[in-house]
Structure 1
Amino acid sequence: MNQPYISVILPIYNVEQYIREAFETLLNQTIGFEHLEIIMVNDCSTDGTIKILNEYAHKYTNVKIINLPVNSGAPGTPRNEGMKEVNGKYTIFLDPDDLLPVDAYEKLYKVAEKWDSDFVMGTMESFKDSDPKRKTWFHMTFRDYLMKKSYYNVSIKEVPFFLQVKTAVYLKLVKSNFIKKHGLRFVEGMKNGEDKYYDMQLFTLAKKFSYIPETIYLYRTRDDENNLSMTQQDMESTILNDCKAAEIVKPLLSDKQYEVFQINALRSLFWKLIDPAFNALPYDKRRYLLERISKVVSSYNEELIQKYFKLELPIVSLLSKGYIDLAMEYTQMHISRKFWYVQGNNLLKQYKRQTAFLNSKSWRITRPLRILNEKRRKFKKQFKMKFSQ
């Protein structure tokens, strides 16, 4: 059997609702499913997931199932175990509840082969699980004008702004021998933030990498009541994981590089700090978490923070100076601002829908009938009043 072009690693836990659709997007890849090696690492699923995985392994010779003996509770271990089994020329990751455009891997592979980069990166779009139309949008990272053009065989010294780009290991097609040469691994035991370490290793160790402004990944946001986000499930641990990720990444970077990476870290943190779930925590916990965050921003580049977090700059400034209680008050103000912004946005949408309906052709056409019905209603009312006297 020829060497697979790409090894795709999926960390899997209780995804029977999503895995078939994700696998379908692998089957449909224009690069050819036969050129892929699919490594599914089952982290002790308790639903019907394993039955589905066994079906695939039985039907396709290029599908491999690894069953972990003990649940790790985080994606780091399954990814690390999957990397031990890689046979493909390149390695990439896929989360089993997300999707791929049909030509995703072909686009990345062609660039990798042409430019011989250590890794090739694309962009991603998100969609809501609850949206039947699956309208997609770009994360703010990829809306930056710097991310609208291609970069071929560049280094992080040439394009340091990549350090602030949203961490997404599933966007990067990496040479498998590069991973083995440098012994790249994920931090284990962290439910979030573990991929930042892997990502920063890629950027700092790669002599050359490439980027194409092409959508190669469709990220599902699971926002229904039965699938609460990790932030909603455990605000404290997710913030602590973000802080830990920043701490373990810092030694990999120069001071200037870390200033850029702080934007990456703060995006994750501010998303949680302005969530009402943070405000619902007891005072002592909020204070403790802000104290941990203050270490992440003990020093910072004010110009960069001003560029990306103009409204949140006072929080960063207060935390860096140790004014924890004042920073807490400022986060509360942002939570209120976010709440009223959402309320106002919803009212505006409702107003636009009603206005569009009132201006619609169907509403105008039915006007005579509505006038007639109103006259009938008034006549009936008068008739009842007359004979009830």
Structure 2
Amino acid sequence: MAYEVTIGIPVYNVEKYIRESLESALAQSFQSIEFLICDDCGTDSSIAIVQEFQNVHPRGADIRIVHQSHNMGLGCARNRMIEEAKGRYIYFMDSDDLLASNAIELMYEQAQKYDADMVYGSMEKVLLYENGRRVKNSDYSYRVFLQEDEFASWVYEKYDRIQASTCNFLIRIDVYRQNGIKYKPINYWEDFTTTMDLPTYVTRVVMLNDVTYFYMCRSGSMSNYQYREYIPKEEILQTMNAVAMIKENSKRILEKPYFSNRMLKVMTTCFFICCTILRNRYKIEPKFDKKELRDFMHYPVAFHNFLSFRTCLLKHVLLYSMGVLPAFLSVGIMCVIGKNKHLV
């Protein structure tokens, strides 16, 4: 059966949350949806709950489960769903988050109206604590981009123009398939490494002001270092290796008008990661040494390439210096700037 939209949901040990998340997905006002579940071989009853929905829910026939051979992580799960999806568009959600009931309808209408490659929705971030919750909205202004390089130029103009998460945008499945776009085989920041590159592959994009997604941010999750007492170094190394791939991929767009701002965003991300490591240095085992942080700040292009940049040249020179100075001096600069910006 053909569908207009596939909602892809990776599932791994989320029995506490999957019922509410799946109910919100199945409650969509838009009808032509395939609900594609990727079973990442968890050890709890998550998939049994999904199978219960298959049997009793009015939209149960539209739920399809694909099984990984073993636990492979979020990146591989997303890649599997891109391969398997029957929809013309795909929309990812996490198995512990919630959707507005009209999320897909709103996005699909805009995709059809503008023949859009992508449609982003706004997000409500719900910070959950043991003693309560706090809500933080991440709203976009309504915007439509139709010209080549227009969207990418806007995205890279400021650091946080778009969400880092893969969730909460509707995108043509062929954008992934025809460009060979893959998520990195890691569990944390696997989405950022792809969402950083996606603007370079699309032209027609719509940003919605409507809140379509509720990101349930729980203490103790991998995306919340500040609440964890111990952080394995290998987990951070996977993220650093993925970001290093983004740096290398930047060479592909060296001649684009947005290259300077894109490079600044990538290297600023590297700096933020270094600051996170320095801030959590007593939680990370084994420890990072100064040379590892210095080497992570290495620029993927030669010095002369960015001397011609028309914007933010001094910022580029400062970030570049962190990757070439002696390690003790490089990390010293990171600490000074990081403390000044309350990052360390």
| 1:162 partnered with 2:190 | no
Q: Is the CA contact (8 Å cut-off) linking 1:194 and 1:245 kept in structure 2?
A: no
Q: Which has the higher contact order (CA 8 A, sep 6+)?
A: 2
Shift of 1:252: 3.4
Shift of 1:128: 0.9
CA distance in 2: counterparts of 1:201 and 1:105, whole angstroms: 23
Range with bigger deviation, 276-285 or 149-158: 276-285
Shift of 1:318: 3.1
CA distance in 1: counterparts of 2:243 and 2:151, whole angstroms: 27
| 1:328 partnered with 2:331 | yes
Higher helix share: 1
Greater gyration radius? 1
Residue by residue, what CA displacement relative to the aligned partner does 1:290-344 show, whole Å, maximum 9, x if unpaired? 31222358656694487xx8xxx886253144343223123334565577x99xx
SS in 2 for 1:295: coil
Partner in structure 1 of residue 70 of structure 2: 70
Q: Is the CA contact (8 Å cut-off) linking 1:222 and 1:228 kept in structure 2?
A: no
Counterparts of 1:297-312 in structure 2 under 5 Å?
303-304=311-312
Q: Is the CA contact (8 Å cut-off) linking 1:156 and 1:204 kept in structure 2?
A: yes
Extract unaligned runs of 5+ from structure 1. Answer: 343-389
Q: 1:55 to 1:271 in 2, by over 3 A?
A: farther
Residue by residue, what CA displacement relative to the aligned partner does 1:6-48 show, whole Å, maximum 9, x if unpaired? 10111221111221221122122232xx422110101111122
Q: 1:22 to 1:304 in 2, by over 3 A?
A: farther
Q: 1:338 to 1:264 in 2, by over 3 A?
A: closer
Residue by residue, what CA displacement relative to the aligned partner does 1:209-262 show, whole Å, maximum 9, x if unpaired? 2222333222222224xx354756335415523432323431332255343223
Counterparts of 1:75-90 in structure 2 under 5 Å?
75-90=74-89
| 1:58 partnered with 2:51 | no
CA distance in 2: counterparts of 1:41 and 1:62, whole angstroms: 14
SS in 2 for 1:5: strand
| 1:112 partnered with 2:111 | yes
Q: Is the CA contact (8 Å cut-off) linking 1:318 and 1:326 kept in structure 2?
A: no
Shift of 1:116: 0.9
Shift of 1:183: 4.7
Letter in 2 for 1:240: M
Q: Is the CA contact (8 Å cut-off) linking 2:127 and 2:133 kept in structure 1?
A: no
| TM-score where L is the length of structure 1 | 0.71
| 1:213 partnered with 2:209 | yes
Letter in 1 for 2:241: N
Letter in 1 for 2:258: Q
Partner in structure 2 of residue 38 of structure 1: 35
CA distance in 1: counterparts of 2:339 and 2:155, whole angstroms: 32
Extract unaligned runs of 5+ from structure 2. Answer: none
CA distance in 1: counterparts of 2:80 and 2:327, whole angstroms: 41
Residue by residue, what CA displacement relative to the aligned partner does 1:27-79 show, whole Å, maximum 9, x if unpaired? 22232xx422110101111122122122123230000111111111x212111
Partner in structure 2 of residue 137 of structure 1: 137
Residue by residue, what CA displacement relative to the aligned partner does 1:271-293 show, whole Å, maximum 9, x if unpaired? 43333214666776342133122
Residue by residue, what CA displacement relative to the aligned partner does 1:324-376 show, whole Å, maximum 9, x if unpaired? 3223123334565577x99xxxxxxxxxxxxxxxxxxxxxxxxxxxxxxxxxx
Partner in structure 1 of residue 25 of structure 2: 26
Partner in structure 2 of residue 374 of structure 1: none
Q: 1:331 to 1:152 in 2, by over 3 A?
A: closer
Q: Is the CA contact (8 Å cut-off) linking 2:297 and 2:320 kept in structure 1?
A: no
Matched positions, count? 322
Work out which of the residue numbers 292, 295, 298 in structure 1 matches 2:296: 292
Identical counterparts, % of pairs: 20
SS in 2 for 1:170: coil
- RMSD in angstroms over aligned alpha carbons? 3.3
| TM-score where L is the length of structure 2 | 0.79
